[in-house]
Amino acid sequence: MVLKGPKYCSPNCPFFRCAKRALSRNRGRAWCTYTNDYCVGYRCNYAVCIRNRLLNNGLCGLSIKRSREDLMPPERPELQVKVRSKILKKLGEKEIF
């Protein structure tokens, strides 16, 4: 599957559902029996994606490629902590790193 850019959610998607269960597909067109008109897709208040990828602006989350950044671990600063004498006796060191 090759992604060519973000796409808007459409009623022709196999993951698109109507929360009112009013969507019927006839002759390649999506028909809403609730409004008795063609389905408006992501602009409908009852549009749902069963994969939970419908974004607020109507884009399909499956068509968006994630960007990954190579994160280098930050350098560890040298911290020295002074401890009490009881702990020093047990550890045998003056400072803990």
State how far the Cα of 38 lies from the Cα of 78, in Å rounded to an integer. 66
Q: Among candidates 2, 21, 4, 14, which has minimal Cα distance to 53?
A: 14
Per-residue model confidence as pLDDT tens digits over 32-52: 999 999 999 999 999 999 999
Alpha carbon 4 to its chain's center: 19
pTM of the predicted model as reported, rounded to 2 decimal places: 0.60
Q: Of 19-33, 64-78, 82-96, which gets the smallest average pLDDT?
A: 82-96
- Buried b / exposed e across 17-51, counting CB within 10 Å, b at 16+? bbeeeebeeeeeebbbeeeeeebebbebeebebee
